[in-house]
Amino acid sequence: MDLGGLRGYTATFLRGRFGSSEYRYQHQLIRRYVGHGGRYLHLRGGVLFWPRPRQKLFQYRLRWSARRASTHDLMTLLDTGGCREQLAASWLIAVGRRADLRDRIAQDLRSDAPSGYGWDYCTALARLGTDQDAELLRRYLDQALLLPRPLDDDDDWHCQRQAMGALLYLDGVLGTSYAQPLLTAGGLWRQWSGEEGADSLEEERELIAQLVAFAAGERPLIKT
Boundaries of domain holding 91: 35-215
Predicted pLDDT of residue 31: 85
**pLDDT in the model for residue 138:** 96
Residue 214's pLDDT is 95
Radius of gyration of the chain, Cα coordinates, nearest whole angstrom: 19
> Exposure pattern of 96-113 as b/e (b: 16+ CB <10 Å)?
bbbeebbebbbebbeeee
Within 10 A of 9 (CB to CB), how many other CB atoms are there? 11
pTM confidence score: 0.84
193 belongs to a structural domain: yes
Instruction: Confirm if 94 and 83 have CB atoms less than 8 A apart.
Output: no
pLDDT band at 9 (very low <50, low <70, confident <90, very high): very low
Tell me what pLDDT residue 22 has.
79
pLDDT per position as a tens digit, 134-187: 999 999 999 999 988 776 655 556 788 999 999 999 999 999 999 999 998 889
State the total domains in the chain: 1
For residue 151, tell me if it sits in a domain: yes
Mean residue pLDDT of the chain comes to: 84
The answer to whether residues 168 and 201 touch, using CB atoms and an 8 Å cutoff, is: yes
SS3 111: coil
